[in-house]
Structure 1
Amino acid sequence: MAHYAIGDLQGCYDELQHLLHKIGFNHGVDTLWLVGDIVNRGPKSLECLQFCMRHESSVQTVLGNHDLHLLALMHGYGRLKRSDTLAPILNHPQHTVMRDWLRRQALMLEHPRYLTVHAGLLPQWSSETAATLAQEVEHELQSSAAADYFANMYGNTPSGWSPDLSGYERLRLITNVFTRTRVLTLDNELDYDYKGGYDDIPSDRRAWFDAPGPQYTGRSVIFGHWSALGYYDNGQVIGLDSGALWGGKLTALNLENRLISQVDSLGGLDWKKALR
């Protein structure tokens, strides 16, 4: 039995199939741990979502910001963007089945040696605290109040964590940490705007995993979301979004030996230019 973590799919279904063939993935025996953003902007979002649902016995996934965007649209909130490739899902006759499956997925997955999130964690959160906070949002997603959650999900406030936060401000901040974090201010508040690479981070910002005194130590954190960072492994954190959507690579990490396998973007398209 092998366990593999794979970076952001974002509709890159053909690359996923090539990568699974390369690593010799065995459905029903091996397990995939996906870092979220199953869908959107790539050419085959529907196929990626259907794959995860069809193989749910061997696929574990966290929710990414694009997955939550899809869920919001399915609940009547947010707006369809020009760059979205979600129409085949939204117009599918079984879209409600897909919606209900997707909203049952987690914000954080725990493995004996790893934590998996889409974007990041705050240094003041222990793994136990992070798990509890993730469950708060998951409870809302899976409840009859899900539509109210999505009505209040979008937004960049608050930017700093306090255990005294309550209501939708609390849920929004928790959601943003798990699904949108790249860099933090020196006071550990979220910078929602920075999307550049690691070497270009301004001096008054730092990567979330460079914040001092992290409380989530003990297990390595696997994440995606930050395509400009690319594949990254400093021992404590492992970034797996190597830009398959943008003409880069799709990356798989063997959780036993930390060896990586990659396949090139098959289309070789620069989606950033195509969407301008």
Structure 2
Amino acid sequence: MQNKTNPTIWAIGDVQGCCNALDDLLQHPEIAEDPNAHFWFAGDLINRGPSSLRTLRTIMSLGDRAVCVLGNHDLHLLAVYAGIRHQNKSDTIDEILYAPDAEEIIHWLRHRPLAHYQYDHLMVHAGVMANWDVKKTIKLADEIAEVLQSKQWKKYLQKMYGNEPNRWRDSLTGSKRRRVIINALTRMRMCYPDGSMEFGSKDSPSNHKSANLLPWFDVPNRKTEKTTIIFGHWSTLGLMVRKHLLALDTGCVWGGKLSAIRLNDRKLVQVDCEGKGKK
């Protein structure tokens, strides 16, 4: 993947407002030795952890060296800011909402994609539906990006939430189409063998012995099975490194670790979390 013209890239799992851990990671000798390194963040930059505002400011300060895809917690912040979603008791986003530069931060967040493909790696927050190839995944993610960056973005987010439809059809239009795209890229974990999404399961796949449920990446005939996919979202799955899969949510906010993998050689760097977030 890497050559003389390509930067060193570290893919980083869910930070979720644990900025002390992020600072420790960025200052790790293995990472800090290259001042030109780039960082790919697999979504859920904020929420539940104690320093959501500082986390966003830190990542924003990296400029073009940071590539971020949106996760479900990041979209939740946008929905709360838009006035179409109430905060949860476990949220730690007040400091963002009342920051003097809140408008600038929200603008920056709205301009992050839901999928990123470069150097033969596809990064999303949660997963990719079995009947989407890379080209289709990026095309559909771009549909959401166009909506989020529009002047009517608040209106479009009003119908973002819901578990239906739970499968993709090319004939889908409007809010139903957008909901399936967003759910797949930011919420999906387990699926039925036909590729339709199931949203009730959050445990490790080993705890689901039903033959009717599979991790999204084990659905038969998945069109991206030969593409390396980077994702987070699934702390109970934890670190998983396969030839074409890099799962990087190692539960930092729950007292686990914050993980980074260097893409060219799969060097793993992990730092301890600063403490448990809100549940």
TM-score interval for Structure 1 and Structure 2 normalised by the shorter chain: over 0.9
Distance in 2 (alpha carbons) for counterparts of 1:54 and 1:13: 13
1:231 aligns with 2:239: yes
1:215 aligns with 2:242: no
Name the structure 1 match of 2:3. Answer: none
Q: Deviations over 1:193-250 (max 9, x none)?
A: 1000021123210000001111124420000000000000121211000000101111
SS of the residue 1:77 aligns to: coil
| Contact 2:147/2:156 (8 A) holds in 1 | yes
Matches within 5 A, 1:2-41: 2-22=8-28, 23-25=30-32, 29-41=36-48
- Contact 2:193–2:220, Cα closer than 8 Å, also in 1: no
Indicate if the aligned counterparts of 2:249 and 2:258 stay in contact, CA closer than 8 A: yes
Q: Could you tell me which residue of structure 1 aligns to residue 195 of structure 2?
A: 188
Of 256, 260, 266, which aligns to 1:252? 260
**TM-score (norm: length of structure 2):** 0.94
The 3-state SS of whatever aligns with 1:57 is helix
Question: Number of aligned pairs?
Answer: 271
Distance 1:27 1:10, change over 3 A: farther
Which amino acid in the other structure matches residue 11 of structure 1? G
Give the aligned residue type for 1:137: I
Instruction: Tell me the equivalent position of 1:114.
Output: 121
CA contact (8 A) 2:14 2:233 kept: yes
Q: What SS does the corresponding residue of 1:228 show, helix, strand or coil?
A: coil
Give the TM-score of the pair, scaled to structure 1.
Answer: 0.95
RMSD: 1.3
Q: Which amino acid aligns with 2:249?
A: D
Q: Mark the runs of 5 or more structure 1 residues left unpaired by the alignment.
A: none
Segment drifting more, 24-33 vs 209-218 = 24-33
Identity of aligned residues (%): 37
Residue identity matched to 2:244 = Q
Which residue does 1:66 correspond to in 2? Answer: 73
- Between the aligned partners of 1:264 and 1:205, the Cα distance in structure 2 is 32
In the alignment, the residues of structure 2 paired with residue 251 and residue 193 of structure 1 have an alpha-carbon distance, to the nearest angstrom, of: 26
Residue 135 (structure 1) aligned to one of 132, 135, 142: 142
More off after superposition, 54-63 vs 81-90: 54-63
**Counterpart in the other structure of 2:57:** 50
C-alpha deviation, 1:187, in angstroms: 1.9
Counterpart contact for 2:127–2:184, Cα < 8 Å: yes
8 Å contact from structure 2 (residues 167, 197) kept in 1: yes
| Aligned match of 1:177 | 184
Structure 2 CA distance for aligned equivalents of residues 172 and 214 of structure 1: 21
CA offsets 1:80-103 (integer angstroms, 9 cap, x no match): 000000000001111111111000
Corresponding residue SS for 2:222: coil
